[in-house]
Amino acid sequence: MKHLSKNTMLSMVIVGMALGTAWAIRGQFGHEQGAAWAGGIGSLCIIVLSRNKSWYNKAMKAAFAGAVGWGLGGMMSYGAVVGYGRGVDFVNVYYGLSMLFIIGGLYGLIGGGLFGLVLADHPEKKVKWHQVIIEITTGGVIFYYFIIEQLGIAMTPPRSEAWGVCAGIGIAMMYYLARKKQYSAMRVAVFAGLGGGFGFAFGNFLQVLGNVGQVPFNMWNVMEYSLGFFGGLGMAYGAYTSPWPQEKPTTLYTYSNLTIPMVGFLLLIPFIVWQQSFVEKDLEPTIGKLVSEPGIWISMAQSVAFVAFLIPAIFWIYFISNKKNKLSQELSFGEVHGIFISYFAVYIIFTILITGSFLSFYRIEQFLYILNFAVILALIPKATPLFSSRKAHPQKWILMVLGILVFIALISLIAISSHGEMQGMNKRFE
């Protein structure tokens, strides 16, 4: 780590905190849309901190690509796998933590790879996005039907085996990056994957120890934060230590194919989260525990959440679209920073509303999100990463994977020696 300056390491920690906080919030929403929002926050944080003007002009595309990549992993089921990690024998626990390493790794691999591919997109080396989409879709379908359906290799029966789709997507994406010599995007993908995988496995270990020690805190949330923190740390490391193409300074903003990423990132993802999460029958059990007549509070939460995401989305879409009529069309640090603040703040508002935390302090972690947010905003002006160029070293990456698997074996031994049978324990092997 001698090649990293203090400012670069601080920037990486800030990104880790941003994605960690967002991923912990994601636990309230789940599925692809919740993961996409969190992934978009982490991706946008990397761009804000970069102080790279050419990256600011790519902010919407890169953040949307990162959101889609992290969001795709949301289709994977991991509840039963977490239960394997709560077991009492080495084989099941090691299997569970290792599979969480794979699942978390796929989150980061796909999210980091698509994010990095936008950063690598250059007029002299254009990315053919239609080809990328076709190849990763084909890879996902082929891998799933061959490995899962044909060979019957299951990770978490009888749950969904959608991890096979994500594995196929990740393999196809890496093959594309290698074939097109997009080594910088590949580094971002690999380190985001290593970070996300390590974070998920280590987070489950922390959850087990916390439950054994009867820590009065939401330890599932700790596991989620760990995945996001280390995934963000790895993605930022890959972004700040890779060689990127030099682009000519310009005052012209690139509007080609901007509508889909801009509307998708700022409007569609928050809308889907709102539409899927703020449902009266789902809110009633939570709000009903806090007040005697929950109906009016549920309606208020639904309305506030709708306005909270809609107004910033309309404002930023109109603002960015209107820049093409101005003399200076490029996006500035202040503007990208403003988008990051509003996008992140709305996600926090959503979780405060959906948990009923605006009525009670019963969920202390919800208020820690606000504290994390404040610390992140306070640190951003103090951090400017010093970019360095590191080459792709597949051999070292393999050694890192092996090192993590050895570490997982050690924490598996610690975990099984710390407790007997636990609630929520699952067995994959008898």
Q: What pLDDT, on a 0 to 100 scale, did the predictor assign at position 344?
A: 98
How do residues 15-49 score in pLDDT, each as one tens digit? 999 999 999 999 888 789 999 999 999 999 999 99
| pLDDT at position 282 over 70 | yes
Task: Please state which of the ranges 91-100, 306-315, 327-336, 419-428 shows the lowest mean pLDDT.
Answer: 327-336
Higher pLDDT, 291 or 3: 291
Q: What's the mean per-residue pLDDT of the chain?
A: 93
Higher pLDDT, 3 or 265: 265
The residues with which 125 forms a beta bridge, in sequence order, are: 122
Distances (CA, A) of 270 to 20, 36, 42, 347, 365: 18, 9, 15, 8, 22
How do residues 78-103 score in pLDDT, each as one tens digit? 999 999 999 999 999 999 999 999 99
Residues 400, 271: Cα–Cα separation, whole Å:
39
Residues 331, 335: Cα–Cα separation, whole Å:
6
What is the share, in percent, of the chain residues with pLDDT greater than 70? 96
Task: Please state which of the ranges 252-261, 344-353, 372-381 shows the lowest mean pLDDT.
Answer: 252-261
Q: What pLDDT, on a 0 to 100 scale, did the predictor assign at position 339?
A: 97
Q: Residue 125 in 3-state DSSP?
A: strand
Tell me the one-letter amino acid at 48.
V
Kindly state the greatest CA–CA separation across the chain.
69
Higher pLDDT, 253 or 288: 288
Asked if the peptide bond before residue 158 counts as cis, ω within 30 degrees of 0, the response is yes
| pLDDT at position 250 over 60 | no
List phi, psi (to 5°) of 295: -50, -50
Q: What angle do CA 227, 233, 236 make, to 5 degrees?
A: 135
Distances (CA, A) of 221 to 30, 163, 365, 417: 12, 22, 8, 23
Confidence grade of residue 326 (pLDDT, cut at 50, 70, 90): low
Residues 30, 35: Cα–Cα separation, whole Å:
7
| pLDDT at position 132 over 80 | yes
Q: Can you tell me the mean pLDDT for 399-418?
A: 97
Q: Can you tell me the mean pLDDT for 146-166?
A: 94
Q: What pLDDT, on a 0 to 100 scale, did the predictor assign at position 292?
A: 84
Q: Can you tell me the mean pLDDT for 217-237?
A: 96
Q: What is the DSSP string of 169-190?
A: HHHHHHHHHHHTT-HHHHHHHH
Buried b (16+ CB within 10 A) or exposed e, 228-240: bbbbbbbbbbbbb
Residues 117, 30: Cα–Cα separation, whole Å:
26
